[in-house]
Amino acid sequence: MSNFTTSYYTGYLDVKTLSMEDLRVTTRPTAERDAVDANLEIWARELPELDLETALGERVSLSQARGRAGFDLLELEERPDRVYLGPRGTVWFLYGRPDAVRLLVAQTPRLRVDEPFILKKLAGAGASVETTRVRDNRAYFVSGEPHELILVDEHGIPVQETARLAQDVLLWEEDGRTYRLEGDLALDEALDIANSLR
């Protein structure tokens, strides 16, 4: 694949991912359930520093991930260097090494993007949010300040997927799954990669 080159990804990726066991989530029912961020209280207790492999989940082979995912994985022509099965059925592709990541690709079933949170709270907190499209699907490119992501499950319950991201994120929904690219990416580079997933 011509667009996926190591020159795009020279930075280190510092990620702390929290599983659901690390979070307490409370919601108060309101008449406006679609505005999930309005009555959402999420806080994470202090945690010891996690290494990236522990945060991503169980390391498996690519063939094992294909068999256990429960859905058809989108893949790049370049095989990932490592593959993990994480919380909520997320499949992670890691390109590079855990201590020198070029790119992370995440695919999570049965979660959707909380657009009000991304456009209002993330932007208001100092992160830069650009709207774009990946294969005709609305997408969000988040960069700047370390940021959290709130997704919503099939029951409309908000889920804090990540506590802090130190690099750029391209996030979109496609065929009932949420996709995420993480790395030292410019928007056009992220879109080239996203549109190369097949």
Q: Would you give per-residue pLDDT tens digits along the chain (198 residues)?
A: 434 433 333 333 333 333 333 333 333 444 444 444 443 333 333 334 447 888 899 999 999 999 999 999 999 999 999 999 998 999 999 999 988 889 999 999 998 998 888 888 777 777 889 999 999 999 999 887 656 777 888 888 888 776 344 688 999 999 999 999 999 999 999 999 999 999
Residue 168 lies in a domain: yes
> C-alpha 157: how far from its chain's center?
17
Residue 85 lies in a domain: yes
Task: Domain of residue 42: give its range.
Answer: 6-196
Residue 59 lies in a domain: yes
Taking the model in full, what pTM does it have?
A: 0.73
Residue 144 lies in a domain: yes
Number of domains in the chain: 1
Residue 138 lies in a domain: yes
Residue 84 lies in a domain: yes
Residue 1 lies in a domain: no
Residue 42 lies in a domain: yes
